[in-house]
Amino acid sequence: MTSLPLSTPTGLQPPAIRGCYLLCLDQPYFHARHYVGYSDNIAQRLQTHRKGQGSPLLAAALAAGIDWHLVQVWPDADRSFERKLHHRHGSRLCPESRCRSVQQARRQQLRLPLAVA
């Protein structure tokens, strides 16, 4: 396994394109640690989220002092893809090592097979 350089704490630069995106919260907000969204313009959408609009979860997290950042983008993905993403656990989609280690610990607890479709 190759060790990748650590990602910047600010996450990915939001692209001004249409697609789905995954936001990772710096700390869990109750049970939530991730947010999946769809937009015609991801960069613009994230600016809206920054103002506390567009998502009650992200607004509440910001109000609680919990920041979030972009960790994954699926260019050109549509709303049906977004729905599929919503059915998956965010930590399984998130490339952040701290989220992956949570996922690995959970998998060991549940004794699930390592290969997940």
Binding site for Zn ion (CB under 5 A): 24, 94, 96, 99
Cβ distance to Zn ion smaller for residue 10 or 80: 10
- Helix locations, 1-117, DSSP H: 42-50, 56-63, 79-86, 90-93, 97-110
Residue 58 Cβ, how far from Zn ion at the closest point, in Å? 14
Q: Which two tokens stand for residue 114?
A: 């390592």
Cβ distance to Zn ion smaller for residue 84 or 100: 100
Cβ distance to Zn ion smaller for residue 7 or 40: 7
Alpha-carbon distance 27 to 34, whole Å? 10
Residue 32 Cβ, how far from Zn ion at the closest point, in Å? 11
Cβ distance to Zn ion smaller for residue 27 or 40: 27
Neighbours of 84 (CB within 10 A): 12
Q: Which two tokens stand for residue 81?
A: 């893809």
Residue type, 3: S
